[in-house]
Copies of this chain bind each other. A is one copy, B any other.
Amino acid sequence: MRPSERLSLNQITTNRWSVAEAAEGCARAGIGAIGLWRDKVAEAGGAEAAARAVRRAGVTISSLCRGGFFTAPGALEDNRRAIAEAAALGTDLLVLVCGGLPEGSRDLPGARAMVRDGIAAVLDDAAAAGVRLGIEPLHPMFCADRSVIATLGEANRLAERFPPERVGVVVDAYHVWWDPCVEEEIARARVFAFHVDDWVLPLPAGALLGRGLPGEGCADLARLHRAVSAAGYTGPIEVEVLNQRVWDLAGDEVLARLRAGVDGDLGEPVRA
């Protein structure tokens, strides 16, 4: 099976497309799965309507982005809503971006404790809904404002506090490629998802929209693919690219490029 046959389109990669447009684009490109974002689901008329639009295109929903931000006010209620939306969409995976430092705080250990307590607080809701929680460590450059969980090691230690069938990690190439411990941490990880995207330079102002399509940058995606495969992961390979240059392209062009990039760059997986 070629990597592109396991592709999922994380819909932020084609940010101008609605849920229906993205699902239809996937169908045209032969991409069988899609990861949705909550703002786009809301724009589609809610989870049931979004799920119908995706089903109509013959595509499955691999994940919902995103829960988390446990260091912000109102986080628990928001995460419960996200869990309910994931269940209504028919996906069993909610991706967690855990949240940065609370406003005005420098207390990193305290913020990390808030994340731990937040996950614990919504765990029963997730179990009742049949939804798994995937902790996505973000690149350390997002530690202050987006995720105090900044390494796969920290994400693993956090996930390991919870039942293995319920809480795991999302390995995103852009966020973890630089880590000297990435292979040993993937080997011990409960890999719930594998996101591919690439490290390209220079970083744009604000850093958020600096990712490249697979193959455009210097992250060794084949190495990471081998590692998640060796760890037993056989799920979707989800492409998630936040980049204004990519968003300015036609969606079909983006999908063609990412298919080619994934097949060109991920190489053959090790059989689990």
- Chain A positions within 8 Å of B, measured between CB atoms, are 101, 105-108, 112, 139-141, 143-145, 148, 150-151, 153-154, 177-181, 199, 201-207, 217-220
Contact = CB atoms under 8 A, between A and B. Distances in A.
A112 B201 contact: no
Contacts of A141: 139-141, 203, 207
- The number of times this chain is found in the oligomer is 2
Main DSSP-derived SS at the A contact region: loop
A178 to B, nearest CB: 4
Contact of A205 (B139, B143, B205): B205
A154 B180 contact: yes
Contact of A144 (B106, B108, B153, B218): B218
Contacts of A177: 108, 143
Given A202-B205, A205-B202, A178 B143 contact: yes
A108 B220 contact: yes
Contacts of A207: 141, 202-203, 207
A73 to B, nearest CB: 18
Contacts of A203: 141, 203, 205-207
Contacts of A201: 144-145
A263 B180 CA distance: 35
28 contacts: A101-B218, A106-B218, A106-B220, A107-B220, A108-B220, A139-B140, A140-B141, A140-B178, A141-B141, A141-B203, A143-B177, A143-B199, A144-B178, A144-B199, A144-B201, A144-B217, A148-B178, A150-B179, A150-B180, A151-B179, A151-B180, A153-B180, A153-B181, A202-B205, A203-B203, A203-B206, A203-B207, A204-B205
